Every structure is written in C-alpha cells, then in structure tokens.
Structure 1
Amino acid sequence: MFYTGKIYHRRSEIHGRYKGQQYGGISTPADHSYIFIFTGDAGSEYGYIDNFDTNGTFKYTGEGQEGDMKMSKGNLAIRDHRINNKEILLFEYVSQGFVRFLGNCNYVFHHIEERPDRNGDLRDAIIFHLDIVNTQNTDTAQTLTPKTVEAIKAVYITKPSKGTSLQKLREIALSSTPIQATTEEKIQSIQNRSMAIKLYAKKRAGGICEGCGEMAPFETKSGPYLEVHHLTRLADGGTDLPHNVIALCPTCHRKAHYSLNYLEFNTRLIDKIADIEATLRYQSVKE
C-alpha cells in the first residue's frame, strides 16, 4: 500500500518489491495489479510535458522516445486499465531516485498532438487525460452497477456554491466518478470536485488564515480573502483532497512557496491540516 504524500525510493521501495520497468515513465509489473506512472520536469525538453488541462483532468504524456507514439505496451495498459483490472498509481519526482505518491488515477480519454521526440523531430504524441481520484472511494467507484448510478449522480454532478454546507462540499470533493458515466459527466465531476475543494478550504478556515491564525487581510464581495494552497505540488496543482489543501493569507501563501524554509513550513502546514481534518472527521462521526 502506498500513502498519499509519502516519498519512496523508486528502485528499492517500488521496483524492489513489485518489479516492473525501472526506467521510463510507465512501469507495468507482470505479477501485480498496478501500473506505475511517473511525472517530473526532466523530460520537458523531449516533449514530455505533464500538467492540468482547463477541464480539470491531468494530462499525462505517453511513452515512446522516437517517432509517432503507438497505442501499445505501457500506453495500451493505461487506456485499458479498467478492462484489465489494473490500478494506475501516479508518482512525482522530488529528487534523483525519489518519488512522491500522489494518488490513484483513472483514464478518462486521450488525444493526439504534435510534440518533439528526443531528436527534436515533430511526431504524434499520445496525451492521456486522467482523473486523480480519492483512493478511499476507489472500491466504491469500481463496484457500482447501473441500478445505483442514478442514486449517486446527485453527488458527483452537483455544482457546488458558496452557500453549500461544509459537509456537502466535503462529500463532493471526495466523490469518485462512476465508471459507467459518460466522458462529459466524468469531466463535469472533476470540475465540480475542483470547485468544491477550493470552497471547502475557505469555508473550513472561517475567515482565519490556517497558517498563521490571523484574520483574513480584507473582505471581498465573496467573503474574507484567503488563497488556497496545495500541500503536495504536482506541477503546483496538487490533488484536490481535503487533507491536501489549506486556506492561507497572501503572506503565508508566498512563504509556503518562496521562503528559505518553505519545506519546513509546508511540513508544519501538512501536520496542522491533518489534525484539523482528523477533528472534523471525529465530529462528523459523533453527529
């Protein structure tokens, strides 16, 4: 089992246990139900640019260093992971040899676009659009039947607003898109979760910076001004989960990115949000 936000040594802690290709962006162990995919900045000069699309999906570049990418091997494994009962596990490089686990992914769709290969020649590249899901709800998402889809649509297609309750925002943020949903419904779900998590973080803060504990610096038409910061990077987008977001005043937000001790500061923020979320979950159970 891998834990979101935890750092692992790729060679010893991942491949040493599960095998699979030790190099490249996609690893498909033969004897395990995992597909490991790795992202980072190192391959950008060769056309491997992974980031978030405007629709909220995470765009992940397929494998193949020269010529047009083919829908085979690792690329095919990603596209057909549901059919083959495989889980896609996403990791991000944090330093040489070390990667941070960012969560499970589901394939939504893919497109083809021109990107340079390692020789600088333009070629057709496969760009996967992935849904980074809440692993707590993965089993639920996979076992849904057509009879139950309509019952839970109210959660995953509900558009959140400032007036939505904290608990409802949490439910939307933690919802997983059913595999029976159409591509359009999946994208709507991703967008709703992204909107819900930002509203959730601000509502949870209640107008007080969750970093320094001071009141928001000023009021806006939509309420106290606080900025939502993702605690794990993923190209500065981060995963949209309650334990990975914090509402900060502008000063604390910049401190989390640019201060000399930003790593230490972020670690403190992670611990603080973990305590806040644990308290909220306990209160929810009591109610």
Structure 2
Amino acid sequence: MFEIGKEYNRKRDIHGIYGGQRQGGISTPKNSPNIFIFTSQSGEQHGYKDEYRDDGIFWYTGEGQVGSMKMAAGNKAILEHAQNGKTIHVFEYTRRAHVSYVGSALCLGFHAETRPDRDGNDREVFVFHLDIDSVGAGDKIAEPPPDYGPKDLRALKKKGLDQLRVAVFARAPKDASVSYKREVAYYRSQALKLYVIARSKGICEGCGEKAPFNTKSGPFLECHHVNRLADGGPDHPQNVVALCPNCHRRAHYAIDAVTFNNKLKQVAIEVEKSNA
C-alpha cells in the first residue's frame, strides 16, 4: 500500500486515492479500513509533541487545538482501531504538502497529561502509545524468545552481529497481550542500539575515527536516528548510525546539520546493504 521511507504528496497520493480529511493530524476515510495520522515539528507550538520513547514506543498527541481533548472522532478512531478492523498508517512531514511513510502502527493504550492549547491555556491532552512497525518488505521478521523476560535482555549483550540484527525485527504475535507487546518493543529497541554499536566496530560512522574511549562494555559511541520523528526516528538499522559525541552534537546543532544528516543517511543505507 505504502513504501516505508518513500515520500508522498498528501493531497494527491493519499487522500486523492483513499479519501479522508485533508487537514489536521488524524484522517479517517469513511470507505477505507485505514486511519492516517501525521506528525511534524510545527505542532510543538500547540502542545503536539510526538516522540519515540526509550522503550521503543512512539507517543502521539491526539487531536483538538483548543480546550481539553475529547475521546471522540479521530482520537476514538485511534483507540478503537483494532476492534474496528482499521489499520493505522503513520506519516511524517518532510516539506510543505509532502510526507514520508513511517509504517503501520498498533495502539497499545494512552494517557492524559496537561499541556498548553493553541491559546496558551493549560488543558488535558491524550497521548497515544503506538507500536510502529517500520519493517520493510525485504526484512526478515523474527519471533521473540518464547520465554521472553529480563534474562533475554541480558542475553542480548552476548549475541553476535547477525543475531542482534534478527532481534531488531522481533514482532509479538497479533493476539499477544498489550503488556507483552510493550515488552517486545523494548526488547527490539535495545537490540537496535546494541546492533548499531556492534556494526560500527568501534569506528564513528560520521567522521571515521575511533571511539574517543572505551567503557567496560566496549567503545563509547552514541546512536543517532537520521530520520526525525522528533529525533527518535523509526527503529530500523537503516535509520540509525553510531557516532562519537562530537559528531552526534554536530548532527543536532551544527550550521551544516541538515547536510551532515543527509550524508549520514547514505552511510546507514550503504553499511546496511553489506549487513542485510
């Protein structure tokens, strides 16, 4: 239906084919079993801060710009998508009128918190917890360990590069409990971090220099997502590089940050071609 990482014109390529509201962050086509949600940096000024968390879950802010949010319309559609047979598709704005496809998602729940609305007044917002599937057509999906638990997280550190890459694509069965799906998302995110560092062999994938120092667990490098989604980026090896602290700060704050990140995207793509 959509290709992960591909850019689409929102009006022509999405709504022109499947229908749905052409404005706003949540679109619910009447005659399509899909829900389209859109995220961008510009929404932060209205309290819409969407981001990947350390546990591998993406927090997505619901709809409603003024006053407390209601569990209706698009918000209700997200929460009840599974029982209604709807698939959530996540897109991120790349430029005016254009979005990049991130992947499909499962809603694992939500929480409410206080944030400012469009007028600067405090209100209650809904933050949905999404498990985004950014696995591409050529990726091999793996089942998590049958006896998944804390010991498996410890065992990750003993896995080789190929085994870690397999663990990155672990997916819980569709009929698994919400708590189990959360655990697998965390397992997957930890595997990705270990995989990227192991893939680098102690060499910064930005400047090509050795890690500045070693720790008890190995060379000190930091994981950087080259695609935004509030700097968490889709959890896929092709979207993450291992950087020394200097290059990591450059990727975020330097005058040439955009150019540098574009270079890093190509680095990640090329290195993954040899590891896939």
1:182 equivalenced with 2:177 (yes/no): yes
Deviations 1:25-84 (A, max 9, x none): 101122333211111233334332222345432111112234443322211221122223
d(CA) in 1 for partners of 2:216 and 2:223? 17
Identify the residue that residue 154 of structure 1 maps to in structure 2.
Answer: 146
Query: If the length of structure 1 is used for normalisation, what is the TM-score?
Result: 0.83
d(CA) in 2 for partners of 1:265 and 1:119? 36
Identify the residue that residue 262 of structure 2 maps to in structure 1.
Answer: 267
Structure 1 residue 225 displacement after superposition: 1.5
Asked whether the equivalents of residues 155 and 172 of structure 1 are also in contact (C-alpha less than 8 Å), the reply is no
The higher relative CO (CA closer than 8 Å, separation ≥ 6) is in: 2
Asked whether the equivalents of residues 36 and 89 of structure 2 are also in contact (C-alpha less than 8 Å), the reply is yes
In 2 relative to 1, CA 276–61 (structure 1 residues): closer, same or farther, beyond 3 Å?
A: same
% identity of equivalent residues: 46
Query: If the length of structure 2 is used for normalisation, what is the TM-score?
Result: 0.86
1:205 equivalenced with 2:197 (yes/no): no
In 2 relative to 1, CA 218–121 (structure 1 residues): closer, same or farther, beyond 3 Å?
A: closer
Give ranges in structure 1 of 5+ residues lacking alignment.
142-150, 282-287
SS of corresponding position for 2:83: coil
| Greater shift in the superposed pair: 202-211 or 44-53 | 44-53
What letter corresponds to residue 44 of structure 2 in structure 1?
Answer: S
| Greater shift in the superposed pair: 52-61 or 168-177 | 52-61
d(CA) in 2 for partners of 1:221 and 1:152? 27
Identify the residue that residue 279 of structure 1 maps to in structure 2.
Answer: 274
| Greater shift in the superposed pair: 217-226 or 95-104 | 95-104
1:251 equivalenced with 2:246 (yes/no): yes
In 2 relative to 1, CA 215–38 (structure 1 residues): closer, same or farther, beyond 3 Å?
A: same
1:100 equivalenced with 2:92 (yes/no): no
d(CA) in 2 for partners of 1:53 and 1:252? 22
In 2 relative to 1, CA 193–75 (structure 1 residues): closer, same or farther, beyond 3 Å?
A: same
d(CA) in 2 for partners of 1:7 and 1:81? 25
SS of corresponding position for 2:126: strand
Asked whether the equivalents of residues 20 and 29 of structure 1 are also in contact (C-alpha less than 8 Å), the reply is yes
Identify the residue that residue 34 of structure 1 maps to in structure 2.
Answer: 34
In 2 relative to 1, CA 52–169 (structure 1 residues): closer, same or farther, beyond 3 Å?
A: same
Asked whether the equivalents of residues 88 and 105 of structure 1 are also in contact (C-alpha less than 8 Å), the reply is yes
Higher helix fraction (1 or 2): 1
SS of corresponding position for 2:205: coil
SS of corresponding position for 2:114: strand
Identify the residue that residue 196 of structure 1 maps to in structure 2.
Answer: 191
| Greater shift in the superposed pair: 54-63 or 224-233 | 54-63
Identify the residue that residue 145 of structure 1 maps to in structure 2.
Answer: none
Identify the residue that residue 127 of structure 1 maps to in structure 2.
Answer: 127
What letter corresponds to residue 205 of structure 1 in structure 2?
Answer: S
What letter corresponds to residue 91 of structure 2 in structure 1?
Answer: F
In 2 relative to 1, CA 39–278 (structure 1 residues): closer, same or farther, beyond 3 Å?
A: same
What letter corresponds to residue 154 of structure 1 in structure 2?
Answer: P
| Greater shift in the superposed pair: 49-58 or 71-80 | 49-58
Structure 1 residue 236 displacement after superposition: 1.1
Asked whether the equivalents of residues 4 and 134 of structure 2 are also in contact (C-alpha less than 8 Å), the reply is no
Identify the residue that residue 4 of structure 2 maps to in structure 1.
Answer: 4
In 2 relative to 1, CA 45–12 (structure 1 residues): closer, same or farther, beyond 3 Å?
A: same
SS of corresponding position for 1:246: strand
Structure 1 segments of 4+ aligned residues over 6 angstroms from their partners: none
